[in-house]
Amino acid sequence: HLFIHSISIFQAVLIILHLSPFGSLLFSPFSSHLSSSSPIPHRERESFDSESLLSPFPQISSSGGISAMDRSPKRRSISPDDATRFPDEVLERVLALLDSPKDRSAVSLVCRDWYSAESWSRRHVFIGNCYSVSPEIVARRFPRIRSVTLKGKPRFSDFNLVPDNWGADVHSWLLVFASEYPFLEELRLKRMRVTDESLEFLALNFPNFRALSLLSCDGFSTGGLASVATHCKNLTELDIQENGIDDFGGEWLSCFPDNFNTLEVLNFSHLNTDVNPDVLERLVSRCRSLKVLKVNRSISLDCLQRLLVSAPQLTELGAGSFSQELTPRQHADLEHAFGLCKNLSVLTGLWEATAMNLSAVYPACSRLSFLNLSYTALQSQELASLLPHCPCLRRLWVLDSVGDKGLEAVGANCPSLEEIRVFPADPFDEDMINAVTESGIVAVSQGCPKLHYILYFCRQMTNAAVATVVRNCPDFTHFRLCIMNPGQPDHTTNQPMDEAFGSVVKTCKKLQRLSVSGLLTDLTFKYIGKYAKNMETLSVAFAGSSDLGMQYVMEGCSKLRKLEIRDCPFGNAALLSGLEKYESMRSLWMSACNVTMNGCRVLAREMPRLNVEVMKEEGSDDCKADKVYVYRTVAGPRRDAPPSVLTVSSL
């Protein structure tokens, strides 16, 4: 057959195309990553698919070279007199090797043939806002999709700022997929509404269905999971994370047929009720390809020990409850079981782990790259004892119970650390004891020069400390600082925290995501607009002094895609300063600001390809726009909005 080595054909194509006028177009965006089989982690899939969905096909004038541009985009267009043309099938096979959505978007803009070949060869589509496009448009644009990632509600719905019945129901998508993508294999949903009816529909209508991932979704129950377990014969992945669901018990796990053995990923860590440990053990022992297992708290340490013995090949483990008192014999057995797991790179769960029990995991930690200790309020000494066993640690999540001393231990023991997240053990407690302070974050930065991702909840911070942190670690891509008292100044100088974030944006040229907090004036935003040229996501709360603040951002941040603002003194002038910008962004959220309905109407009138939606609070006066959600769309206004969500038209 023609394709013994697809890669070399591609290289041949590259050589030929290099000679064509379009060669230069192709070479810059293409990555050298040609493998199409390795899965791309969620975070790295960027939303450029949406861009190619949204931009109408540009008119490219034929300036020589590939003559097929003059033809209408037919499925097969072979010109016998054009020796440089490749048949569509070849082009498709070559383009199929491209994974990166950015590359694919670039490819689709080259010419009609490439547009057509790329759309036929695309297997995965990422839709960052389910209302930006309709399922019909997606199906027309990409006829042969096998894997869909869909995101729904605005992120602030995680914090109860979005009404329950807001929308983002997946069902209408499934109906279209059933007819257009009957061979759909993977569905990954985030912040969508998913009912049991939808899950059953999914399980019954897609015979090749393999991977289901539900993150922060709501609307379903364990009954829906039972449908999936019962009917999806080829399921390899069932990943149910952090969802608001009705948990009616663990019988769903028993719905996997006795001869079912294809599971590779099973995550039910946030379900609350008991599953039958025997059923789980039998399932795990017959799924020899199982790589990821994350159990819930109902699984005892005895059961966990047996699971590990039967599945030492695991690469990711979410342990259950870790507080059970163990006899020395049980502890030794558990430690031995962990010792069998030579391939563990991710360890999470460990609910309420005691220091004694934690020591059982040491033998499995030598290759650990991600350790999630945020479900147990460890003290500093316990963390300090654990960390020396994890020399390869790249990502660490902890609770602030470890204190500054615990973070010093992190700095001392984790030279490869790239990401740290410190969550508050007691977020509503305003005591000053047992929390982390600016010293902790500085200590981590001193010991971990590769740090590029931080999420830090604290009760006090100083400008000087933040400046030190970014001086030590200038490569931050994600800097999320949450000083938990709104509007709190630098506690040593009583100054606003403007200079802190100024130092972040001035020093960290690669910054993609920023969350600000503390007492902030417009100066912070002036800095952001001036220096944060790669920033794509910005989260602001209780900050700023005037409309100028938001204006600086809208005018200066050329790569901004997501902006979420709450409780800031930004009004209509600020909202409208972004007029030119919103179509190049995924969305804007503004709640409890000073925007009025009139401002929204002006925006809607000037920018007809945006949906401008307002959620009114009970009892607020008629002209206030309490919560505003603005997003670009080619699908027009929503038809499924509940009464509390008004789509603002220019009327």
- In the complex, which residues of this chain contact other proteins (CB under 8 A)? 156, 158-161, 216, 242, 244, 270, 351-352, 374-375, 377, 423-433, 457, 482, 484-489, 519, 539, 541-542, 566-569, 592, 594, 617, 619
Q: How far apart are CA 368 and CA 291, in angstroms?
A: 14
CB of 158 to other proteins, least distance (A): 5
Interhelix angle 498-507/522-531, rounded to 10 degrees, is 0
What 527-531 contacts at long range (C-beta under 8 Å, 24+ apart), as own/partner pairs, is: 527/498, 527/501, 527/502, 528/501, 528/552, 528/553, 528/556, 528/557, 529/553, 529/554, 529/555, 529/556, 529/557, 530/505, 530/556, 531/502, 531/505, 531/506
CB of 386 to other proteins, least distance (A): 19
If the CB atoms of residues 102 and 624 are measured against other proteins, the closer one turns out to be 624
Three-class secondary structure of residue 264 per DSSP: coil
Tokens (6 digits) for 614: 């307002």
Cα–Cα nearest to 53, from 173, 140, 146, 148 = 140
DSSP 376: S
CB of 639 to other proteins, least distance (A): 28
Torsion over CA of 185, 191, 197 and 200, rounded to 10 degrees? Answer: 20
Q: What phi-psi label fits residue 260: left (phi over 0), alpha (psi between -120 and 50 degrees) or beta?
A: beta
Residue 346, strand partner residues: 316, 370
Tokens (6 digits) for 146: 């096998």
Tokens (6 digits) for 277: 């440990």
Alpha helices in 19-70 (DSSP H): 23-27, 48-54
Q: How far apart are CA 36 and CA 3, in angstroms?
A: 15
CB of 542 to other proteins, least distance (A): 5
Label residues 221-260 b or e (16+ Cβ within 10 Å = b).
Answer: bbbbbbbbbbbbeebbbbbbbebebebebbbbbbbbeeeb
Tokens (6 digits) for 183: 């061979």
If the CB atoms of residues 56 and 619 are measured against other proteins, the closer one turns out to be 619
If the CB atoms of residues 77 and 273 are measured against other proteins, the closer one turns out to be 273
If the CB atoms of residues 337 and 422 are measured against other proteins, the closer one turns out to be 422
Torsion over CA of 386, 388, 392 and 394, rounded to 10 degrees? Answer: 60
CB of 541 to other proteins, least distance (A): 7
CB of 642 to other proteins, least distance (A): 19
CB of 180 to other proteins, least distance (A): 34
Alpha helices in 58-169 (DSSP H): 88-95, 101-108, 112-121, 135-141
Cα–Cα nearest to 561, from 105, 84, 46 = 46
If the CB atoms of residues 363 and 406 are measured against other proteins, the closer one turns out to be 406
If the CB atoms of residues 417 and 565 are measured against other proteins, the closer one turns out to be 565
If the CB atoms of residues 122 and 566 are measured against other proteins, the closer one turns out to be 566
CB of 43 to other proteins, least distance (A): 17
If the CB atoms of residues 216 and 413 are measured against other proteins, the closer one turns out to be 216
If the CB atoms of residues 432 and 651 are measured against other proteins, the closer one turns out to be 432
If the CB atoms of residues 87 and 244 are measured against other proteins, the closer one turns out to be 244
Give residue for tokens 């009705």.
246
If the CB atoms of residues 244 and 257 are measured against other proteins, the closer one turns out to be 244
Contact 388, 365 (CB under 8 A): no
Three-class secondary structure of residue 571 per DSSP: strand
If the CB atoms of residues 240 and 576 are measured against other proteins, the closer one turns out to be 240
If the CB atoms of residues 34 and 377 are measured against other proteins, the closer one turns out to be 377
Contact 544, 550 (CB under 8 A): yes
Q: How far apart are CA 18 and CA 150, in angstroms?
A: 36
CB of 154 to other proteins, least distance (A): 12
Cα–Cα nearest to 157, from 167, 147, 145 = 167
If the CB atoms of residues 531 and 589 are measured against other proteins, the closer one turns out to be 589
CB of 127 to other proteins, least distance (A): 22
Question: CB-hemisphere CA count at 13 Å for 66?
Answer: 24
If the CB atoms of residues 139 and 301 are measured against other proteins, the closer one turns out to be 301
Question: CB-hemisphere CA count at 13 Å for 23?
Answer: 12
CB of 489 to other proteins, least distance (A): 7
